[in-house]
Amino acid sequence: MLNSGDVMSPALTRAKTGPKSAQARGPRLTKATVSAIVSAAILSGGLASTPSYAQLAPETPSVETPFGRAPLSFADVIEKVKPSVVSISVVAGGKNVAGKTGKNGLPEGFPDIPEDSPFYDFFKNLPKEFRNAPQQQRPTQAQGSGFIISADGYVVTNNHVIDGANKIQVSFDDQEKLDAELVGTDPRTDIALLKIKANGKQFPAVKFAAKPARVGDWALAVGNPFGLGGTVTAGIVSALGRDIGSGPYDFLQIDAAVNKGNSGGPTFNLSGEVLGVNTAIFSPSGGNVGIAFAVPAVTATEVIDQLKKSGAVSRGWLGVKIQNVDEDTAAAVGLSEPKGALVNEITPNGPAMNSGLKVQDAIIAVNSEKIADSRDLARKIANYAPDTTVDVKVWRGNKEENVKIKLGKFPGSSDEIAKLEQGGGGPEDQTSTDLEQLGLKLAPVKNGEGVSIMEVDPESDAAEKGVKAGDVIIEVGGSSVAGAADVAEGVKKAKEMGRTAVMVYIKSADQRRVVALQLKKS
């Protein structure tokens, strides 16, 4: 907010008080010129008539909404939805923690007193009950946005807005503040559901859009950026299906200005329906650069329904690690196109452990639904309830196979997933074998499975795909290996089958992955 004493920007100052330059004055109009303009106006229908939107752009049809033709003004739709948008205030921390000793030997929080000071011994020799007394953490405050989805006070916001909160309040445009309690959260989609403590009070609510957004649709963001509640910005839906690295779910991309504090707020369409929940921005500086991301309405509604019922979201879990099938992988396993998800590890004690699914299987369909890539598989599996049995179609050994798997419940954290099996050791000695076809130098492994990679040709396909010295090759072409001869045999078989690449199962530290390595031409 600008106060009377604030200094305006140079551009605004010049526009208001700048000198009357020749550029500012512009060309002078003679009486003859004015007369000609007036005559032309009279001939075309008069100066008083103002061209309509349709007259200005007859080739662009207008869009009818409950608020008239778009995009003449957003005022009507904002007037309708704004009372349902709230600001979220959160207080976190403030708990007692055990007292600690600082680097200078004094209780943590005491000044850095030199050891030769007469006060040093006094503070250092404080009784134990003073030295180790619980200390009060300073509470932290945060702000975000949210919106009401039911008259009885359910509020949608982001999980990261209320994470760790001790106290949550919602604020309305009329400055009314009400306490709210947490119903449930879903970190994977960054959705949180709150309930206002209102003793039967009714609230204005908005609803989610039934139709999915399209690229080019208007997008109106309402929220609480930088604590400035009730802020409205406008833009369009810039893209669909964005992957922002937070699981298998896709996000909307919008160019309406979204900043810190907009998190959890809604993006509306011109009918006043919620297209998505604003959750993240892309910005090198931390401010708006015209790229923001929102959880689509269809995803948000599925999550909210489960949070209302149980306070948590249950998702199906296959218990495998997967990767995309790229062109080299497709060539190595004999697929006609790079589609599907390749299994590179099966989680011990997971749902797929004893199902018959194998490492290097390419999953190409689930319950007859084709799989495009690894994210598509993760999303489809997550949409099934735990304990659902699914029919998984895989590509294995140049033909299709079907495996039935009873899904488990997706673990809430990585700690709930069994640790991956580890094994193998360093190379037994420096005796190595060159495998020119792959650009690798191999050596036996001590007390473990597979064959160790001693060197990688920096010009090879293996180097380009991140294979490095110290990695261990466990399988080649689906067959286990115990030495360099087995790797060479796997390469030979791939060439005899007319393949231009071979599947190699590699262990790197505690991670395992499948890599399709191109074969060098003889």
Q: Which residues are catalytic?
A: 160, 190, 263
Q: Which helix (H) or strand (E) holds 82?
A: none
Q: Which token pair is 140?
A: 């932290």
* CA gap 281, 233 in Å, rounded: 14
Burial (Cβ within 10 Å: 0-12, 13-18, ≥19) of residue 84: buried
Q: Length of the chain in residues, anyone?
A: 522
The span from the CA of 390 to the CA of 501, in Å, is 31
How many angstroms separate the CA atoms of 517 and 502, rounded? 5
Which residue do the tokens 């979220």 mark? Answer: 88
Number of Cβ within 10 Å of residue 148's Cβ equals 23
- Residue 79 structure tokens: 């007037």
Please name every residue paired with 508 in a beta bridge, in sequence order, or none if there are none.
511
User: How many other C-beta atoms are found inside a 10 Å radius of the C-beta of residue 133?
Assistant: 13
SS in 3 state form for 277-295?
Answer: EEEEECCCCCCCCCCEEEE
Residue 18, both tokens:
């700048």
Task: Mention every residue, 6+ apart, whose C-beta is less than 8 A from residue 207.
Answer: 149, 273, 274
Q: Fill in the amino acid letter for 489.
A: E
> Residue 83 and residue 75: Cα distance in Å, rounded?
13
DSSP per position, 91-131: EE---EE---B-TTSSBTTS----TTSHHHHHHHT--HHHH
**Under 8 Å between Cβ of 91 and 139:** yes
By C-alpha distance, which of 458, 460, 436, 440 is closest to 506?
440
One-letter-per-residue 3-state SS of 292-317? EEEEEHHHHHHHHHHHHHHCCCCCEE
- Partner residues linked to 494 by β-bridges: none
Cα 37 to Cα 119: distance, rounded to the nearest angstrom: 90
Are 169 and 209 within 8 A, CB to CB?
no
Cis peptide before 71 (omega within 30 of 0): yes
